[in-house]
């Protein structure tokens, strides 16, 4: 009570003395840890503040998440994070069997997106407490989710080489191939030989482990590569139908495979077959992420066909979807349609643009580039000009034509800098 009185009067030094006197009197080293941490915070004494918060975290396991939230809000500067790391490393060295400090250090590294540092700590825990890859595989998942592909590959390989847990081994075997796949998809120009090798690796995985919950997902990844990167659509269709017909396959995986099949039918120009599959998935998965994905694919199909009002009716629903990614995609397509049809009642130019986007979806890049160039020649001042330059730049980046891509991005930044894509073009120019 005395301490709180001094805090209210902003006499923080006196508050500190009162709490320390109470701790000394009680002979309990962690007495008033939270209160002392708050006083040190008022005084700007970060090191002592961190020490007291760590004392509080040790009092009971439930306190740890609270302390993580506190650190996340209070330790904004790099020097403060370094101080926390130094304190944790020192405590780990003094008390190697106290798992809380190691877990907190892993969390700090993850907050900084230092995935390798988090892996080193998780690996140490894994060996010391015989966790058999439990923490390590979670670090791999987070690294992959954050597109840190090289770190994800190293982490999953560690689990493959060291884990005796069959589930973790199976998962890591699949995920290390998937991490390599995602890395290859983001390096331009695409290395088709390396992508082909991935299909071989997926098949080896399936042959080794048989058909189970891990390998059926890998089988679907293999089909995706055949369809969208290697132009082997018949192989992809065969694989996807085989997964769909597998007994006891999960509803989610079956629905995902149907969506992939719909996309393949769209690749081959069979729009009616595509919309049938999308609608099946939408009906079977109402008010779920898969159902929303199916509705978005149907909306995009209507857009490709030039049926903009029908597309917008789907998109208006999806803009309220609970999944942020789907809602953002729906909003983006809706804005594209709205901005470029409002002054063009015939929708003629927008329909031409949408038909070229279908060519892009079908991986007919050379044809799409030629038709985009024709649109710029025929409609140089149309509101779609920045979108066209953006699409052309993206194609040229994929093909490794960096100078050409930069010149097209420059058209956006110099002539359309205040349009929606102006900032994106500036950012991508810096990356290139």
Question: What pLDDT digit, counting tens, does each position of 311-370 carry?
Answer: 999 999 998 877 889 999 999 999 999 988 876 666 899 999 999 999 999 989 999 999
Token pair of 430, please? Answer: 């810096």
pLDDT exceeds cutoff 80 at 376: yes
Among the residues of 286-347, which ranges form H helices? 289-304, 308-318, 324-341
Q: What is residue 129's predicted lDDT score, i.e. its pLDDT? A: 87
Question: What pLDDT digit, counting tens, does each position of 420-431 carry?
Answer: 899 999 999 998
Q: What is residue 425's predicted lDDT score, i.e. its pLDDT? A: 96
pLDDT exceeds cutoff 80 at 179: yes
Q: How far apart are CA 240 and CA 223, in angstroms?
A: 7
Give the mean pLDDT of 36-44: 96
131 pLDDT band, cuts 50/70/90, is confident
Q: What is residue 300's predicted lDDT score, i.e. its pLDDT? A: 97
Q: What is residue 214's predicted lDDT score, i.e. its pLDDT? A: 76
Q: Characterize 41-58 residue by residue with b for buried, 16 or more Cβ atoms within 10 angstroms of its Cβ, and e for exposed.
A: beeeebeebbbbbbbbbb
Question: What pLDDT digit, counting tens, does each position of 45-104 carry?
Answer: 999 999 999 999 999 888 999 999 999 999 999 999 999 999 999 999 999 889 999 999
Q: What is residue 346's predicted lDDT score, i.e. its pLDDT? A: 66
Backbone angles phi, psi at 222, to 5 degrees: -60, -45
Give the mean pLDDT of the chain. 94
Q: What is residue 342's predicted lDDT score, i.e. its pLDDT? A: 74
Q: What is residue 341's predicted lDDT score, i.e. its pLDDT? A: 83
The enclosing H or E element of 391 equals: helix 385-398
Q: What is residue 43's predicted lDDT score, i.e. its pLDDT? A: 96
118 pLDDT band, cuts 50/70/90, is very high
Q: What is residue 174's predicted lDDT score, i.e. its pLDDT? A: 95
Q: Are 120 and 94 in contact (CB under 8 A)?
A: no
Q: What is residue 345's predicted lDDT score, i.e. its pLDDT? A: 60
Question: What pLDDT digit, counting tens, does each position of 228-277 carry?
Answer: 999 999 999 999 999 999 998 999 999 999 999 999 999 999 999 999 99
Give the mean pLDDT of 368-396: 95
The angle subtended at Cα 256 by Cα 171 and Cα 197, nearest 5°, is 55
Q: What percent of the chain has pLDDT over 70?
A: 99
pLDDT exceeds cutoff 80 at 208: yes
372 pLDDT band, cuts 50/70/90, is very high
User: Is 416 strand, coil or helix?
Assistant: coil
Among the residues of 27-114, which ranges form H helices? 33-43, 46-59, 63-74, 78-94, 99-111
């Amino acid at each position: 009570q005395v301490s709180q009185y001094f805090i209210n009067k902003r006499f923080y030094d006196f508050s500190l003395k009162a709490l320390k006197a109470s701790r000394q009197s009680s002979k309990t080293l962690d007495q008033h840890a939270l209160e002392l941490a708050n006083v040190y915070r008022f005084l700007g004494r970060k090191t002592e503040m961190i020490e007291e918060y760590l004392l509080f975290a040790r009092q009971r396991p439930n306190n740890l998440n609270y302390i993580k939230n506190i650190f996340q809000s209070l330790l904004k500067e790099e020097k403060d994070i370094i101080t926390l790391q130094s304190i944790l490393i020192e405590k780990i060295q003094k008390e190697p069997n106290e798992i809380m400090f190691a877990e907190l250090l892993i969390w700090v590294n993850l907050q900084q997106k230092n995935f390798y540092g988090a892996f080193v700590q998780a690996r140490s825990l894994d060996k010391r407490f015989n966790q058999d890859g439990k923490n390590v595989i979670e670090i791999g998942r987070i690294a992959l989710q954050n597109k840190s592909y090289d770190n994800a590959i190293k982490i999953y390989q560690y689990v493959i080489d060291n884990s005796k847990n069959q589930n973790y081994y199976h998962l890591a075997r699949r995920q290390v191939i998937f991490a390599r796949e995602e890395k290859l998809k983001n390096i331009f120009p695409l290395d088709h030989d390396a992508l082909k090798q991935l299909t071989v690796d997926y098949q080896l995985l399936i042959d080794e482990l048989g058909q189970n919950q891990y390998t059926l997902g890998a089988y679907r990844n293999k089909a995706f590569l055949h369809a969208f990167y290697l132009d082997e659509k018949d192989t992809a269709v065969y694989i996807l139908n085989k997964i769909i017909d597998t007994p006891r396959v999960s509803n989610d995986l079956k629905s995902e495979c149907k969506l992939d099949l719909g996309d393949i039918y769209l690749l081959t120009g069979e729009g009616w077959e595509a919309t049938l599959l999308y609608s099946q998935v939408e009906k079977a998965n109402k008010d779920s992420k898969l159902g929303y994905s199916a509705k978005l694919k149907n909306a995009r199909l209507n857009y490709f066909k030039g049926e903009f009002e029908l597309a917008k009716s789907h998109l208006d629903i999806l803009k309220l979807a609970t999944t942020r990614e789907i809602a953002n995609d729906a909003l983006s397509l809706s804005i594209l349609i709205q901005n470029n049809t409002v002054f063009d009642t015939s929708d003629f130019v927008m329909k031409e643009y949408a038909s070229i986007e279908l060519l892009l979806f079908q991986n007919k890049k050379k044809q799409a580039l030629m038709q985009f160039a024709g649109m710029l020649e025929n409609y140089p001042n149309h509101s779609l000009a920045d979108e066209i330059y953006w699409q052309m730049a993206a194609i040229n980046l994929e093909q490794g034509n960096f100078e050409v891509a930069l010149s097209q991005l420059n058209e956006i930044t110099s002539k359309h800098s205040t349009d929606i894509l102006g900032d994106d073009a500036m950012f991508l120019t810096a990356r290139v």
